[in-house]
Structure 1
Amino acid sequence: MTSSNNGLTMKSPTATLFGCLFAGQSGLLVLTPVLSDVARDFGVSTAAAGQLRSVSGAVAALVALGLLAGRRRWNLRDLLAAGLTSIAIASVASAVAPTFEVLATAQVILGAGMALVLAAGLAAPARWAEDGERATVLAWALNGQPAAWVVGMPIVGVLGAHSWRLIWLLPLVASAVALTGVRARGRDEPEPAAVGSPLRRPGVARWAAAELLAFAGWAGVLVYTGSLVTDAHGVSVTTAGAALGAGAAAYIVGTLVARRWVAVAAHRLVLTTSPALSAAALLLGSVRPSFGVSVALFTLTALIAGMRMMAGSSLGLDLGAAPLQAMSVRAAAVQFGYFGGSALGGLGLTLAGWSGLGAVLAILLLLSVGITVAPQVRAKVGVR
């Protein structure tokens, strides 16, 4: 295990992994407040534009599964470098895309890069951090994602007001900066080769299924909230970007709060935050009296999501699989969840408007609770 640095230098695991997850999330979030503009530019519906995230999500899931299926001893530093390079390439391709089909193709490259960054970036705390520091390094790695919202959404709002093509400067620059930090680290020992499927370990498959459903619900919030506030309240892209970026700061608070409890109560925290997240998503889609109320509900949803996702990630690292295997499973679950959340959320939006979107996302989140508590229910009723 590589020794961690206490200072936030370029070689610090905390700073490096924060930057990697920031870059990965920036590739996801940039389209959120400008989906309507992209749809209008290419002559497609907002729901169809939302499926761009489905494309990148499907590819990312397949790449994460490929990490599980292969027998190669992967190096975390090399995986991160490859992922960040892919995000940079995809950003350039997206910015200059002449057609909707070309933009969708660029999301294929983006999805592959995001999978590598997510799997390796969340496995690295177990390898790069000193004993006793894993929860802290993991929390800050996860916080790279909401920090991208806090910092990135106002930037996207300003750039998007001029052209949605300019928004791709954010993931391009972020990936380049993060790549510098990754390259500054020395080479690590390769991860152990995969021996059998981690899904065969007790509890891993159930955990992965719950994560998939939870991320499907949260993904729908991320993909469609920007369009909700611009379409339902008529605010500008700049205003929406700034408000959602500020609201996403609550995710960071939720992650840091959960960090204090995950060592002893990760499972209980998953069980309590998941239904609360479901209720928040339902309210976000259904209650829209004003722009301020919608932003407040998004802030509440982000706070609960930060606690839920930190608890779920920590739980996965405690299930006994090798870190890269466990986080590859999580990356696949996350991306299949994003795919499902974008697709099903788009269906709910098409059939029943924003209230339909909220209902679909709430159901997905409640199903994640059912999978998590099923073993306890069977035990109480004596079913084997």
Structure 2
Amino acid sequence: MLKDLSIQSLFMGVLTAFVGFASSFAVVLQGLKGVGATDFEAASGVMALSVSMGLCAVVLSVWTRLPVSIAWSTPGAALLVSAGIPEGGFPVAVGAFLVCAVLIVVAGLFRPFGRAVAAIPAPLANAMLSGVILGLCFAPFKAIGSLPALALPIVVAWAVVAAFKRLWAVPAALAVFVVVMIFGVDLPEGAMAQWAASLAPPVEFVMPAFTPASLISIALPLFIVTMASQNIPGIAVLKVNGYDPAPGPLFAVTGVFSLLSAPFGGHAVNLAAITAAMCAGEDAHPDPKKRYWAAIIAGIGYVIFGLAAGAVTGFVSLAPPILIEAVAGLALIGAFSGSAVAAFKDVETREAAAVTFLLTASGVSFAGISGAFWGLIGGGMILVLLRVARARA
């Protein structure tokens, strides 16, 4: 097995870990705080997710000898931002994370259930995702309005780098964010000492609690978004690159690692899509049978980044919240544009997708259940009515 390791795979694995962590950890941080996590609980969640997805990538890649890349659910984290703090606080959200993990395991082991998830109309799933992301995508431009001297350099760096190398755009924005923090933000007295105290890996066990409202407004939409936007596309990326894995076992294992991370604040881990293309492509190794090492190295990198989550999140917590939201919003602009195009591409489902998008983006909630669920229900009803009307015609 070691004979398959190459410098090319090593470099691509390190690059994958850096891009995967740096491009979206701000979204995850905001998502966990959005459902009531304290700074330390959010740091613990980031740590648990990063370590879990790293170990999961190593286990699956060694087991299958395929470049199986793992990521945290970035769309799921964006969903949490808009879900709001549930009644009962973060422990209730953690209970929803556990239920979501169980659903992912069931989807992988029980084929009819997995097929039912895959049967959710793609335009509605994409419309729900774009509606969830929309609010956070406004943040970079709101930040320019409120803190132009700090936010404008971050947005400009993202735009310039994206024009030439899209994959590096968010890491570039993050680098400028660090520079802005060091030279442009007046830190309160004792802030650096407080940051130094946060260098140890953050571990916070959260006793889960369960409510019907949180299961419907958090667990179910989180499960749907994770499956539709991450797991299923992750399988597609592997197939495009000439691999043909059995999806069920991969889904089930990601669900198990999600279960392990949930009590420490992690919302979900899943198959990667964007970084999967990095590890499964020719840049990782000329021989497709040896590319699995890139995913293994990336997994080791995620574990290392996870152990440093306290330092990362401690530094970020010193920034004005709007700047953190701005970086998170920049990380989601690509996902928003892709999901919006996919949602409204088909003329026959456009009205149903529009209802799903608008209901979700409106942020309305009924009976303590967030708009993401009602958006999916409303769009589904419109889709059924349209199909009945067309069949009768």
Per the shorter chain, which TM-score range?
A: 0.3 to 0.5
Q: Please identify the structure whose Cα radius of gyration is greater.
A: 2
- What is the TM-score with the length of structure 2 in the denominator? 0.32
Larger helix proportion of the pair: 1
Q: Compare relative contact order (CA 8 Å, sep 6+) and give the higher one, 1 or 2.
A: 2
